Structure formats: structure tokens, C-alpha cells
Chain A
Amino acid sequence: MIATAWRVAGVGFSLLVVLAAGLLYGVSPDQAAFLNSSVGDLTIGFAVRTDDLTVLMLAVVGVIATCVQVYSLGYLHQRAASYHALVTLFTAAMVTVVISDSLFFLLIGWEVMGACSYLLIGHYWERRDARSGAIKAFLMTRLGDVGFLFGIFVLGLGAGTFRISELDPAAISPGLLTGGTLLLLVGVVGKSAQVPLQTWLPDAMPGPSPVSALIHAATMVAAGVFLIARLYDVFSASQTTMTVLAVVACVTMLFAALCAMAAVEVKRVLAWSTVSQLAIMFSALSLGTTAGRHAALFHLVTHAAFKGLLFLCAGVLLHQVGSAAFVVLRRYTRRGRLRKALRVTFVTMTIGLASLAGVPGFAGFFSKDTVIEAAWHHARDGSVVGWIVLVSVCLTAAFTAFYCMRMWLWVFFRTPALAGALGAFEDENATADLDEPDTSKLRDAPWVMLAPLVLLAFAAIALGYVDGVHLDWVIASVSTVLVLLGALPAYSLWSRGADPRPVLLEREFGVGTAYHVMFVVPVQLLAKLTVAGDRDVIGGYVRGAGRAGTLASQGFRKLQTGNVQTYLTAAVVGVVALAVLAGVIGS
């Protein structure tokens, strides 16, 4: 009953967001403030605004959220009430971020998203990996959010206002501007899982797949990109910040793509690919040009479509097969069972992967080209940042094609080679690979789950053309070549039945372990130390005082011997002592 209500509310709310986006489309930009209160000379309160960016993001959020909500109707069976409520809240928080014109209002949405993601990632709280993934997600984003909050302080106090529309980079001193934007960047890095706060996103995969779709496509991680786009004037006014952003983005996109190349689980590959794709958006933003911002937002939109699609597809795999690990899925691939049984899923997922890989004609191809083009133009103007971005994005494009191809092949196609080649996906039981599981019951998902897939698949193609096709043929051909360069090795490896995964990549450069050793262990030690300190040092003094009192008390009782002459002696000694003491104090 309650669950149904929340289901209806959830779908209704996301439709409402879409509707709002439609209504606001073309309306001239406007702002409104409410619930203000003054603290000293500062005004703390809420404000909303509407402009093109808002509408665009509302549309993205609304559509993805609707797809996710509808999809979840079929996907999720247990604890649906809390799930739908939280997804709705999640969407609402993202909407808050999008429409906000007050930094604090934005922060509310920003962090509520974090909390919702925590709760949703931990939806399957019976599972250990879900619990720890949820905590990790919240803590790492929270760490970034502290920087974000400080950034708000610096910028807000520097400009004397916390209204976004009133933030004037010219009014803020350059030092504060750089400091403030860098601090905001910390928050963005945390939220969008960029290096060095990237580890939470892949670990957040135990959450329900629709939630992953929501997080990766439209909310949460996209919020970082949105924020920089929103504050683009402020950010682009600080060269240092943009350079830092470029470096972070380039490192992240390569790092994440490399990790994705070695991941052995569909959702994990997708998670790393999100990190990598977000980095591409950031790199476009870091160019500091209008074209860069446009490219980034374009990529954001197409990415929302195909990444949402991919995660929902992965959800179908999980839902129907029970696992998204390569090793499990491969068992179903004999005679193409998987792609025959899950025909819609197979087709839509192929579209999604093609879009992600940047196969010409798909949306991802166009948006990525826009980024490369923007970088190229910037580089041509003599910018080092432009060159770095250009090279990184090109490399990433090739890597992306590699891992897309690899995943597509390994999941849906049986390798022609014999089992046992280098790094092939082996079960612990060597013969398990040969047993074909019972695939007779394998069916495609119900229509409520497939409808969003189809919608998004359509979007993953069509969105490339909404902006009008204006290709630079040189760049287009270069990127096509890059895709081929990436895809061919994947094919060749697959056809030989080999999947060499360098240990370094498989362990994701050991960052997670390093963080554990560097932060978690010392904090735990410190915590034990604090407790011990409280108990043995501070508490020790208190107990010591109590014990001293008791001991003194016992001592005085011992002195009370009952012998009157002892008392008299003590008194006479006391007189002398008093005289001496008074003399000492008096003089």
C-alpha cells in the first residue's frame, strides 16, 4: 500500500520534473529568493533561478529519473517503499541543485544527494560490500563537501553574497577567487569521483542498478559538471583552477579508462567508464572557452542517455541472470543463449556501448568529437592545456573503444578459442565453464523495464543529431581511427580467448588499499588512542582524585588513634608549624 503510493509518487514526481522542464523551456532567465535571514552583514537563505542550463538539466534529470522509476517498478521487489521514496528524494535533491541560485540551497541538494546515494547504495544492507560501499561513498563525497563548504565561504564572503547570480568574479580578489574555486573543485572532485577521490564510485556498484543509472547518468556525479558549468564565469576567471582541473581531468580519464580495461564485472566497467567520461567533460570545461562548456554539456547529455541505458541493461542482466560478473555471464553465452533470450537488452546494450565507444553515427561519437574539436581549437591557439586535453581525450577514446568492445564480446559472445588461455575468466572450478547452466528459464525482462531501455537507446542515437550535425571531417576521421585502434586489439584478444589483465590495473593501481592504509588505519588507531587516553589519562586523573580523597580519608582515620596525647602532640607541633608558616607567608 505505502509502497504503491511511493511508486506512484516517484513516477509522478519525475514526470513533473520533465513537465517543468518543458514549461520552462524558452522562458527568459529569472531568479527569486525566499526564506532569507540575515546573520550580521550576510544574508543566508534560499533562491531559485531558471535559465537554459536549468532547463537542460531538468530535462535530463526528469527523463532519466522517469526511466529509472518506471524501470524500478519491474526491477525491485523488496523494500520498494523506502527505495522509491529515496529515489524521489534523490531526484528532488538534484532538482534543487539545478534550480538553485543560492549556494547554500545548492549545498542542501548537493549533500542530500550524497545521503540518498548512501542510503540507496546500501539498499541491500544484508551484503557486506553494499554496506562498505555505501559508507565509502558518503565519506569520500563528504570529505569533498567540506572543501566545497569552505569554497562557498571564501567566494561568498569575498563577493559579499551567496547568490550565484550575483557572484561577480571581478568583485572578488584574485587570490580569494583562486582559493575559493579550488576549494569548490575539491567538492566537485569528490562528488564526481575524480582523482584522487575516485575510489568510491566503483565500490558503489552493489547498489541496485537503477540507482547506479541515476547516479551515473543524471544526478550526483553529473552535479559536479553542472556546478562548474553553472559557475563557469567564476571558474574560468581563475587560470590556476582551470589548469588544476585540466590536470585532474586528464589523469582521471586515463586512469579510469585503464581501470575499466581490466575490470571483470559489467557494472564495474561501467562505473570506471563513468569516471573516465566525466573526466572528459571536465577536461572540456577546463579549456575555459564557450565551446568547451558547450562540448561538456553536450557530452553530459549524451552520456546521461547512454550511461543510463547501459546501467539499466546491466540491471536486466543482474535481474534475469543474477549476476553481472563476466565469469557468470560467460556460462550463458554458449550458442548465443544470452543474446537470444534477452534480445531487447542485447540490442539496446549494443547501442549503448557503441555510443559510449564513440562509434560514428551514435550520440557519443558526436559529443566526444565536440570535445576534441574544442580542445583542438584551444590547442591551436597555443594553449598547453588544450594540447594536454587533446592528447588525453584521444587516448581515452581509444581505451574506451577497447573496453567497450571487450565487454560486449565477453558478455554476449562465446570465444572461439579453447578455455584456459591467458587471463580468461575462470571459475574456481575449472570444469564449471563447461557446464551450461539451465537457460531454459532465461527470459527477457518485463516491458516496464524494457520500455525505458528502448527510449534511452533511441536517445543514445538521436541526441547526437539534435544539436545539428556540424562535423569537422578531419577530427571525425581521426576519432574513428582511434575507435578502431582501440576495438581491434580487444577483438583479437577475445578471439584468442585471452584477457591479459595486468595486476596493477586489476588492483586499480592499489589506490583503495593505499587509502585504507593511509587514512582508515591511522584513524582507527587514533580512535583507540583517544578512548584509551580518555580512560587512562583524563579519566585517570579523575579516578586518581577520587582515590586520593579516599586514601586521605583513610589516612586521617588512621591518625585518629584514640590516644589523647597523640592529639596533643599534633596540636603542639601544629602551633609551631603555624607560626613558621605564617612567618613565611607574612614576610
Chain B
Amino acid sequence: MSAILLGILALPILAALALWAIPASIGDRLAAMYGSVISGLVLIGSLLLWPRSEGWFAYVPSQDQLLREGSRPLQAVTDVPWIPALGVRFHVAVDSISMPLIVLTALLTFVCCLYSLKITPRIGRTRSLIALLLVIEAGVIGAFSSMDLVLFFVCFEIVLIPMWLVIDIWGDDHDPVGRKRAANTFVLMTVLGSALMLLGFLLVYRQAGTFDLVQLTNSPVLGGHGVPLAAALLIAVGLAVKVPLWPLHIWLPDAHAKAPTVGSVLLAGVLLKLGTYGLIRILVPVLPDATATMAPYLAGFATVAIIAGSLACLAQTDVKRLIAYSSVGHMGFIVLGISTLSQAGLHGALFANIAHGIITGLLFFLAGAIKDRHDTSDLRTIGRALYARLPRIGGLLTFASLASLGLPGLAGFWGEMLVLLGAYRPADSLPRTTYLVFMVIAGLGTVLTAAYFLRLVRNLCQGDPAENPASAFAVDLSRIELITWAPLITLTVLLGVWPGLLLHQWGTL
């Protein structure tokens, strides 16, 4: 097991290095094929790792039980010292929380590589793009599987420069200044956030004397004030930049809008999850009391994010920006769920993580497809009546919008429902009335969410075809698009009708 995990960590990196080592002239197609094979292997590997036991190590009552063979929910453990002088270990493992996210990462990367077989940014250089995607994949999987705070931090940072390059080089070729600024804002804000997060980790280390997450989870840093609170605050701020939580979300719309399609997909589908995963994996179990102190405020910001994100979407004129802002709202739901500290809320947050990854990935693919066909992502320039011009893509856009606005029966619903349920009954230590208010506001947020998605569908898909003639190059859904999107569509429906598929994994958190 641990060999598989190490394999899926190392394979993308080595493959990326190998890809750079071979001459640039190998051709884009071959590079994409190579990337598809590698990421396909990683996907298979990650599926092999799918946990067979339930539960989460955090709530295993005692250390003994944790270490007893067979009942240990942590799988594929590799734990070797790395930098003894700093107390850093190379400790990776997976459990039922990280596993779905790892599979999601592998899936989205695979899909992105497949997509690049046929559809690549105009600037070319697909070889480097594929290599960077693989590096990002390795970094994200590393972050999801690391059981050491510093290792998590390192993996958290690994993705930054590749993502910066992806936005800066392959981004919107109409707006070089804008894409440069977007890339810089993204990378600088994230770096500042992660540096603050590191300070929080170090405070934890000062209190607990270890960076090891398993140990920290089993004997958390108690106390809701003073140093633990400072640590929790710093970690929360660092992760909130990544999530991104209002008002630290400002990098997100630009980054998404300017990134190439595959960049947006990975950014929204996977990278944002690092933040929420960190909150669930690190903040909640390691600093329980401080998190409880902070949770109402976190929930407040999350609620504002839901409303502000949705409102901002209502006034967007750019389809990619709109979807980006919708992520702000959705991630707000996830943070709200986490900050309820309740079973339902955490389950909801975890579920919404996956669902958002799949659905927003699909949405960005669709937005990319529309953008490629019209050479712009501005709603007014694209025109209306996509149903008439590109009926399949228009239909899929409607489907994805409905999924994203949380229609029951599709994946988006369960996460948000559980989050609201969590807010209805938050953990005992939290002020219930406050959370009820948040719940109601968040509930209204879902209506706003519906409003902007319907507005999007109305302004893009519907309309009089006579006034919006088809452009010459607009071809409906191509085969590669269908192939790459099919898994996402399938999962959206599957998780919608069978949420137990994931919820079952988590058992009692």
C-alpha cells in the first residue's frame, strides 16, 4: 500500500522531469498522450488505495487502539525522519478523508491531460504545460496525504510556482498585463497566507513539540486563548487565503478568469480544496478549543462569503469570472460546515469539497469550451441563444449550473444540505442562535445562487437565435470534450443519487 502511495507521489514528478529532459520538439500531441498515460496510472494507483476501513484516526479513542494492526484507519503509512534538526518527518498516509480528494485530484488531472490531447491553449508549449500539471498533481496529492505539518506546508507550496507559470504563460492571450497581474496576485497572496500558516504551525510546535499530525490529533493543543488561539488564527488566515474566504478572495476571480481552461479546472477543482482540507485536517483536530473560540467568526465570514459571492456573480459579465465568484460562495458553504464543528457540518464540508471539485471542474471546462469557440468569455460578446448555436454545450451548461446551484439529486445538494443541517445543530460549545441566523442567511444564499446561475443560462443559452447568429467556427460538443467530461457528468449524477458512496466512507467523524 505504502509503495502505491509513494509511487503516485513520485511518478508525476519524475515524469515531469523526464518530459522536460526530452527535447522540446517531441510534439504537443505526444506530450499530452504521455501526460494522459502517467496521470491515468496515478488515477489507477489512487483507486487501488481506496480505503477499505471506515473512520478517522482522530476519533480513535486511544493511542493503543490507533496502533493496533488491522483496526488502523490510516493506510499506506510511510514515516521516516527527514530533517531531524527541525523535527520534520516524511510522514505520508491516507485515510478516508484524504482518499476521495486524492482520487478527485488524480481524476481531474487525468481529464485535463486527456483534454489537452486535442484542445490546447493557443500559445502552444503543451509539453511544459503537461509537465506543470503533473507537478501540481504531485504537490496536491502530497498535501492530501501528508501527516506532518511541515510536509503539508511544503506540498502546499509546491503547487504555487507551477500554477503561477500556468496562468502567466498560458493564460488569456488577449490580456497579457491582466494575466500577469492575476498570476502575481494569486501567488503573492497565497505565499503570504502560507507564511502566516507556517507561523501558526511553529506556534503549535512550540506548544506541542511535534509536527506529526497523528500525534497532534491524538493529543491536541488544548486551550482556547493565548498562544493556541494565535496559532489557530494564523493557520486559519493562511488557509482562508487558499480557500478563499471572503474578504481574502480577491485573487480568485482574476486568477480563474485569466487562467487557461485546464488551469482553471485544477485551480478550482483541486487547489482550493487544499484550504478546506487543511481546516478539517489540521485546524479542527489539532487546535480544538481555539477553533471553537474562533468558529463563530469563521462561520460569519463564511456566511458573508456565501452572500457576497452570490451577489457578485449576479453582476458579472464574464462567464469565467462568474464561475470563479460562484466558487467563493460554494467554498463559503464548506467553511460554514467546518465551523459548525458538528458531524453533519464536517461531513457536509467534505462532501461539498468533492462535489464542488467535480461540478466546478465541469463548469470551467464548459466555460473554456465556450471561450475557445468565441475567443472571448465576455457574456455580451458571446451573445445569447447558445441552445440554438451549440445545443449540447448549452444543455450541459444548464445541467452543470443546476448541479452547482445545489439541485437535490445532483452532487451539489448533499454537501450544502449537510452544512445547513450542521448549522442548524452546531457543536454544543458553539452559540446556537448565531448559527441559526447563519443558516437562514446561507439558505437565502442558495436562492441567490440559483438566481445567478439562471441568469447565466438565460443570458447565454436562451435568447432569440435570429439576433445571435452562429459564428462560423462554432462546432458543437466534440468527441474529446464528451470523453473528458463524461466522468464528471457521471459522478455528478452518481453522487447526487447515492451520496452514501462517500458519506459511508467517513463513518462517524
Contacts and interface: CB of A to CB of B under 8 A. Distances in A.
Do any beta carbons of A and B sit within 8 angstroms of each other in the complex?
yes
Interface of A: 35-42, 44-45, 82, 104, 107-108, 110-112, 115, 118-119, 122, 125-126, 131-132, 134-135, 138-139, 142-143, 146-147, 149-150, 153-154, 157, 523-524, 526-531, 533-534, 538-539, 542
Nearest to B313: A527
Contacts of B370: none
Interface string B324-350: 000000000000000000111001000
B395 interface: yes
B24 to A, nearest CB: 34
Given A37-B500, A40-B344, A115-B402, 4 more contacts: A35-B500, A40-B509, A111-B407, A119-B398
B407 A112 contact: yes
Give the 6 A-B CB pairs with smallest separation, nearest first. Answer: A40-B343, A37-B500, A125-B462, A527-B314, A37-B503, A527-B315
Contact of B407 (A115, A126, A149, A531): A115
Contacts of B308: 530, 533-534
A308 B409 CA distance: 28
Given A111-B407, A153-B424, A539 B250 contact: yes
A104 B424 contact: no
Interface stretch (B94-102, B141-149, B263-271, B414-422): B414-422
B1 interface: no
B247 interface: yes
B316 A531 contact: yes
Contacts of B344: 39-40, 42
A542 B409 contact: no
B298 interface: no
Nearest to B254: A539
A135 B458 contact: yes
Contacts of A139: 447, 450-451, 454
Nearest to A127: B464
Contacts of B387: 125
Interface string B431-474: 00000000110011011101100110010011111100000000
B2 interface: no
Nearest to A532: B315
A33 to B, nearest CB: 12
B316 A542 contact: no
A269 B188 CA distance: 61
B425 interface: yes
A154 B407 CA distance: 20
Nearest to B328: A534
Contact of B312 (A45, A104, A118, A534): A534
Contacts of A146: 443-444, 446-447
A104 B408 contact: yes
A157 B342 CA distance: 14
A142 B311 contact: no
Contacts of B455: 135
Interface in B36-56: none
Contacts of A153: 420-421, 424-425
Interface string B166-198: 000000000000000000010001000000000
A45 B504 CA distance: 11
A125 B466 CA distance: 12
B509 to A, nearest CB: 8
A542 B250 contact: yes
Contact of A523 (B343, B385, B448, B500): B448
Contacts of B446: 142, 146
Nearest to B454: A135
B498 interface: yes
A529 B503 CA distance: 39
Contacts of A530: 308, 311-312, 315
Interface residues of B, number: 61
B465 A126 contact: yes
Nearest to A528: B315
A interface, by DSSP: helix, strand, loop or mixed? helix
B344 to A, nearest CB: 5
A542 B189 contact: yes
A135 B189 CA distance: 38
A40 B342 contact: yes
Given A35-B500, A534-B250, A150 B439 contact: yes
B343 A150 contact: no
B499 interface: yes
Contact of B417 (A149, A154, A526): A149
A290 B253 CA distance: 57
A37 B408 contact: no
A131 B508 contact: no
B312 A39 contact: no
A530 B247 CA distance: 11
A107 B420 CA distance: 15
19 contacts: A37-B499, A38-B507, A39-B344, A41-B343, A44-B500, A111-B407, A111-B408, A112-B408, A115-B402, A122-B462, A125-B462, A146-B443, A150-B439, A524-B315, A526-B311, A527-B313, A531-B315, A534-B250, A542-B185
A44 B413 CA distance: 13
Contacts of A154: 424
Interface in B132-171: none
Nearest to A539: B250
Contacts of B409: 108, 111-112
A382 to B, nearest CB: 38
Nearest to B498: A35
A35 B502 CA distance: 11
A38 B55 CA distance: 12
Interface string B486-507: 0000000000011110011001
B464 to A, nearest CB: 5
Most buried by A among B189, B312, B458: B312
Nearest to B344: A39
Nearest to A110: B408
Contacts of B462: 122, 125-126, 131
A523 B343 CA distance: 34
Contacts of A528: 315
A111 B496 CA distance: 13
A150 B447 CA distance: 14
A154 B425 CA distance: 10
B508 A125 contact: no
Contacts of A526: 311
Contact of A126 (B249, B463, B499): B463
B426 to A, nearest CB: 12
Interface in B222-261: 247, 249-251, 253
B440 to A, nearest CB: 8
Contact of A538 (B247, B311, B343, B444): B247
A111 B402 CA distance: 11
B314 A524 contact: yes
B461 A125 contact: yes
A145 B112 CA distance: 36
B500 A108 contact: no
Nearest to B192: A545
A143 B418 contact: no
Nearest to B507: A38
A142 B447 contact: yes
Contacts of B500: 35-37, 44-45
Most buried by B among A108, A142, A538: A142
A403 to B, nearest CB: 32
Contacts of A118: 454
B345 to A, nearest CB: 10
B57 to A, nearest CB: 18
A423 to B, nearest CB: 33
Contacts of A38: 503, 507-508
